[in-house]
Chains A and B, each alone.
Chain A
Amino acid sequence: MRRILGVIACAACAVPAAAQQQRLQFTAGGGAFQEIVQSHVDSNNSRFTGLLLGAEGSLVSDRFIIRLRYAEGKVNPRNASIPSGGGGALANVLHGTAAAAAVDSAPRDVVEGEALVGFRALPWLTLWAGPSARAYTVGDANQRWLIWSGRASVRGTLLPGRMQTFLELWGALSGNVGNPPVSASGRGADGGLELRLGEAAAFWGRLGYRIQSTHAEGLRETVESLTLSLVYGLPQ
């Protein structure tokens, strides 16, 4: 965790200077994510909620964008149902049925991240590709989703220079989960509102809703997030 924060701090110092030299724009921000997780392992359903804190940054040229996001936090179980005899696929993923029963009622330390490259096809349309990962630990066990996705995001202006909306849809190109890895797939969406904080302010506030649903053999996880972020620079 300290290493990651150190890397982010170094990047935050180095990127603006480098971007200015290359005549690139950059954005940087941080936010809080209220997550609602619905986890299905065969017939075993669990619901978790919790708060994640994260950071994001992007480097923007005329047509290309690089976007990085990182968040971590803890989600806690709300209502878990553990039917008897369940856990076929989960046994492969989480090393045993007994462990599955234990983890569904335990809090999860969650880490999320993505690294995407975008191409601005139209002023309001950007196409993205890249990996995103979501991992959590439960006791001794690790669960990691790695999804390579293709995305399309659109932006609409409500008040020029003051307020804009965005919507992003994505679908998995390939992916895996667990160790040993099992093929996984998924799709998701992200949408919301961005508001400039003051007439000539450099900071924007963002209110967003994000949903993603990933699934593998006998395993499905749906994550909804209500996000509140503060971003330096015009969000892209």
Chain B
Amino acid sequence: MNRLLAGFIVTALLVPTIARAQSAGSLLEQGIRAYTVREYDGAAWLLRHALTAEGANALPSSETARALMYLTATEVARGQRDSAVSAAHRLMVLDPRYRPDQQTFPPDVIAIFQNARRSAPTVSIRAIGDTIRPGADAFIVRLGSTASPEVTATVNSADGRVVRTLYNGAFRDSVDLRWNGLDASGSPPPDGRYAVIVTPSARERHGASASWTLRLPIEVAHLPVDTLPLPAAPSDSLMRPEHGDTKDAVLALAPGLGASLAIILVPKLVASGEHASSARLIVGGSVAIAGIAAFLSHHPGQQLAANERYNRSLRDNWKRNVAEISRRNADRIRQTRMIIRPGAPSLTTSGGDTP
């Protein structure tokens, strides 16, 4: 009994792990086997799950194309024509050069594929995740086509605003769109979700029966960077008064008059009885005049040029420090790295068909 319980517990722990570990490739092979034995519902389930796998478990491009082709065939067999067309569209977006094996798939499947190929834009988009230095490196998006379409490619923000135009013109076979991670003003955009949007140019739209939009979602994140805090503006307590006041005026006058009086009177104290010379009057008078001049230079309303210069110097020093630290921070931000992770591309046609 105990053994049985232990067996159940081990199974309960292991089964989810094993199921999770089942690779997308394995699901694809099982889906193809189910299709060949005409288990179409099971095949559709297995193929869809194989296509939804992400990250390291995701199918490579060639296998994804194969899965989409079998999914198209499965949906045709299930009588789900819209789903079949949608899968065929996805296949065209992924690989415009893909050609199904006419020996493997029945003619009605080939016909659906050919119709999808004719109606869908023959433009593919592909990118791999990258870490770049904004302004120095580039995130590369490859557009492919079997024709020579004239397209406009932009990086748009989540609200649809154009952040940067990457390409505008025709191309043959393929073209690499390079985004240096900066917006139109030359600044790195904030972290968030963006998309590379490819649309046919106005002339291309005019000539075609249906318009389309190819969208490659991307997620932008900046690696954190240490920036220096800006110094605080000099406080008022550090500033000197730029206009005189009564107290300062009196404080300037007092030592002048006091010293003057002392110089004139001190001979009486030091050498009473002597006839003091007029030298003391010359010096005492000069000191008194200097005191009065100092009083006038401090009187209320008088601009104190020296203090103005001192305060200006203090403010200029602060501004210089702020500019220097801002420059250093800008350098650091310029050196920062941006992670760009692309998502699964999607196609929207004028009929609102979103594969």
Which residues of A line the B interface, CB within 8 A?
34, 36, 38, 156-167, 169, 187-189, 191-193, 195, 199, 207-209, 211-213, 222, 224-226
Contact of B255 among A165, A207, A211 (CB under 8 A): A165
Given known contacts A159-B297, A188-B270, A213-B274, A166 and B279 CB-to-CB distance under 8 angstroms:
no
CB distance from A145 to the nearest CB of B (A): 15
Given known contacts A158-B290, A207-B286, A213-B274, A189 and B254 CB-to-CB distance under 8 angstroms:
no
Contact of A191 among B252, B263, B291 (CB under 8 A): B263
Given known contacts A209-B263, A211-B271, A36 and B294 CB-to-CB distance under 8 angstroms:
no
Binding site secondary structure of chain A: strand
Interface centre among A159, A169, A188 (most CB of B within 10 A): A159
Given known contacts A189-B266, A189-B270, A165 and B290 CB-to-CB distance under 8 angstroms:
yes
Please give me the residue from chain B that is nearest to A40 by CB atom: B274
Contact of B276 among A166, A207, A211 (CB under 8 A): A211
Binding site secondary structure of chain B: helix
Given known contacts A189-B270, A191-B262, A213-B270, A160 and B306 CB-to-CB distance under 8 angstroms:
yes
Nearest 6 CB-CB pairings of A with B: A156-B255, A209-B283, A158-B294, A213-B271, A165-B259, A226-B279
Contact of A158 among B252, B262, B266, B284 (CB under 8 A): B252
Say if the beta carbon of B282 comes within 8 Å of chain A.
yes
- Within 8 Å CB of A195, what residues of B? 290
CB <8 Å contact, A158 and B291? yes
CB <8 Å contact, B267 and A165? no
Q: What class of interface size applies to chain B in its complex with A? A: 20 to 34
- Within 8 Å CB of A34, what residues of B? 279
Bound CA–CA A156/B291 (angstroms): 10
Bound CA–CA A188/B274 (angstroms): 13
- Within 8 Å CB of A161, what residues of B? 306
- Which residues of chain B (237-292) have a CB below 8 Å from chain A? 252, 254-256, 258-259, 262-263, 266-267, 269-271, 274-277, 279-280, 282-284, 286-287, 290-291
CB <8 Å contact, B263 and A159? no
Given known contacts A159-B297, A191-B263, A209-B263, A165 and B276 CB-to-CB distance under 8 angstroms:
no
Which residues of B line the A interface, CB within 8 A?
252, 254-256, 258-259, 262-263, 266-267, 269-271, 274-277, 279-280, 282-284, 286-287, 290-291, 293-294, 297, 306
Given known contacts A156-B254, A191-B266, A211-B276, A226 and B283 CB-to-CB distance under 8 angstroms:
yes
CB distance from B12 to the nearest CB of A (A): 80
- Within 8 Å CB of B256, what residues of A? 156, 158, 165
CB <8 Å contact, B279 and A225? yes
- Within 8 Å CB of B274, what residues of A? 38, 213, 222
Please give me the residue from chain A that is nearest to B260 by CB atom: A165
Bound CA–CA A213/B283 (angstroms): 19
Please give me the residue from chain A that is nearest to B252 by CB atom: A158
Given known contacts A36-B277, A224-B276, A224-B279, A166 and B271 CB-to-CB distance under 8 angstroms:
no
Bound CA–CA A224/B264 (angstroms): 12
Given known contacts A158-B256, A167-B263, A224-B277, A193 and B270 CB-to-CB distance under 8 angstroms:
no
Contact of B284 among A188, A209, A222 (CB under 8 A): A209
Bound CA–CA A224/B281 (angstroms): 12
CB distance from A202 to the nearest CB of B (A): 17
Please give me the residue from chain A that is nearest to B240 by CB atom: A160
What 7 additional pairs, Cβ within 8 angstroms, besides A158-B291, A189-B266, A191-B287?
Answer: A156-B254, A158-B256, A159-B252, A160-B306, A165-B259, A188-B270, A222-B271
CB <8 Å contact, A209 and B255? no
CB distance from B36 to the nearest CB of A (A): 95
Bound CA–CA A224/B263 (angstroms): 12
- Within 8 Å CB of A159, what residues of B? 252, 294, 297, 306
Interface centre among A159, A187, A209, A222 (most CB of B within 10 A): A209
Bound CA–CA A10/B293 (angstroms): 40
CB <8 Å contact, B255 and A157? yes
CB <8 Å contact, B284 and A157? no
- Within 8 Å CB of A189, what residues of B? 262-263, 266-267, 269-270
CB distance from B248 to the nearest CB of A (A): 10
Given known contacts A34-B279, A191-B262, A211-B280, A165 and B270 CB-to-CB distance under 8 angstroms:
no
Contact of B266 among A162, A199, A211, A225 (CB under 8 A): A211
Given known contacts A193-B283, A213-B271, A156 and B259 CB-to-CB distance under 8 angstroms:
yes
Given known contacts A156-B254, A191-B259, A222-B274, A209 and B279 CB-to-CB distance under 8 angstroms:
yes
- Within 8 Å CB of B271, what residues of A? 211, 213, 222
CB <8 Å contact, B270 and A211? yes
CB distance from A179 to the nearest CB of B (A): 25
- Within 8 Å CB of A160, what residues of B? 306
A-B contact pairs, 17 of them (CB 8 A): A38-B274, A156-B254, A156-B255, A158-B291, A165-B255, A166-B259, A167-B262, A189-B267, A192-B259, A192-B263, A207-B283, A209-B263, A209-B283, A211-B271, A211-B280, A212-B270, A225-B279
Bound CA–CA A199/B280 (angstroms): 28
CB distance from B287 to the nearest CB of A (A): 5
CB <8 Å contact, A211 and B267? yes
- Within 8 Å CB of B258, what residues of A? 156, 165, 167
- Within 8 Å CB of A36, what residues of B? 277, 279
CB <8 Å contact, B254 and A193? no
Please give me the residue from chain B that is nearest to A227 by CB atom: B283
